Amino acid sequence: MTPEIKTATLQPIRNTFANIERRFGDKPASRYQEATYDLQGETNFHYRPLWQPQYELNDKNRTQIKMNDWYDLKDPRQFYYGTYVQQRAKHQEATETNYSFFEKRGLAEHLSEEVKASLLTYLIPLRHVEHTANLNNMYGCAFGYGTAIAQALLYNAMDRLGNAQYLSRIGLLLDGNSAESLATAKQEWLKNPVWQPMRALCEEMTTVQDWFEVFVAQDLIVDTLVFNLFYEQLDKKLGSMGGRDVALLTEFMQVWTKDSSRWLDSVLKTVASESEENRALLEVWVKHWRAKTLEALKPVVSAMLDNSDALSLADALLEERLTKVGINR
């Protein structure tokens, strides 16, 4: 008896969820679309927040920015929980390899005392700036409108905790896991006069109510300037001092910044192009926080870098980015 194998094609009753079908049509959807679009509740809330009764739980009026559709602020990386975790796991695996190599070869022992002092005074205190960034992005996640921007802000907030932890591990590598370096770096952040304007700026950002203004201040202005000054210009100075191996320990920040910038620039470009009112408002916020951040960074940059044009170089990069996203014309 010869067996006969037949195949049958089963047609699905429907291709996707109803909310996705209303937006994109009756066709198979990507995982990102199904995990993002039109998930936030918009109607039938039975109470308003007791601490802010003028707002609904999810309220567009928590920011002055106006969007016809907040889901236009999609993530070009197509991050939902699964893809985000998978990519960060790859980044972490590579970073752990770098840290293991640094520790296994005893590279900390080859760093000069001058390099170690620079790390303790200028690089490791950045973990407090990263914790501020975590708070600010979590604030945007809590009060932002639409899952597209809210989930991306959550992922960014968790990335900032990762940055802070890696900065802390640099300190632990320097002191043999005694945590003395972390205590020293904390005192630099709390007591060193050159850090106090930046510390005050971090505290001020956490008092701003408009979540999108906080997003602009933290993720655009502060991050652009800080990354160039601390992870590029300071990195070059440490290399000239014999501390090139430190670049192994900050490679995660390099990779993360490039990845995060794709999302940030896409969001800002979309918001600025939505309306002239949005663009004008972004210009006001940028002008305000740009001046504040440059002034706050001036003391620490003067003490940290020998180049008197360091701030101007960082500001020029910020200007280039603003032009790219359509905020400065």
Which has the closest alpha carbon to 222: 288, 269, 164? Answer: 288
Residue 308, domain CATH: 1.10.620.20
CB 328, CB 322: distance < 8 Å:
yes
Domain count, the chain: 1
In a domain, residue 132? The reply is yes
The single-letter DSSP state of residue 108 is G
Residue 48: the pLDDT is 85
Report the candidate in 66, 75, 121 with the shortest Cα–Cα distance to residue 275. 66
**pLDDT for 1:** 63
Question: Residue 306 falls within a domain, yes or no?
Answer: yes
Please give the structure tokens belonging to residue 102.
């640094």
Domain that holds residue 260: 78-325
Element (DSSP H or E) covering residue 223: helix 223-226
* Single-letter code of the amino acid located at 238: L
The tokens describing 234, both together, are: 């300071």
Q: Contact, 328 vs 319, CB < 8 A?
A: yes
Task: Let me know if residue 19 belongs to a domain.
Answer: no
Distances (CA, A) of 165 to 88, 111, 227, 256: 14, 21, 17, 14
How many angstroms separate the CA atoms of 174 and 246, rounded?
11
Residue 264 lies in a domain: yes
- In 3D space, the residue among 118, 109, 124, 103 whose CA is nearest the CA of residue 238 turns out to be 118
In a domain, residue 181? The reply is: yes
* pLDDT given at position 51: 87
Residues whose CB is less than 8 angstroms from the CB of residue 216 and which lie 6 or more positions away in sequence, other chains included = 268, 282, 285, 286, 289
CA-based nearest residue to 204, from 130, 284, 287, 293: 293
Pull the structure tokens for residue 311: 């701030």
Of 229, 245, 199, 255, nearest to 123 by C-alpha is 229
Number of H helices and number of E strands within the chain?
A: 14, 0
Structure-token pair, residue 245: 């191996």
Q: Does 33 fall in a domain? A: no
Please write down the HEC assignment for all residues of 234-292.
HHHHHHHCCCHHHHHCCHHHHHHHHHHHHHHHHHHHHHHHHCHHHHHHHHHHHHHHHHH
The predicted pLDDT at position 119 comes to 95
> Whole-structure pTM over 0.75, yes or no?
yes
Tell me if 303 is assigned to some domain. yes
Q: Which residues of the chain have pLDDT under 50?
A: none
Does residue 205 lie within any of the structural domains? yes
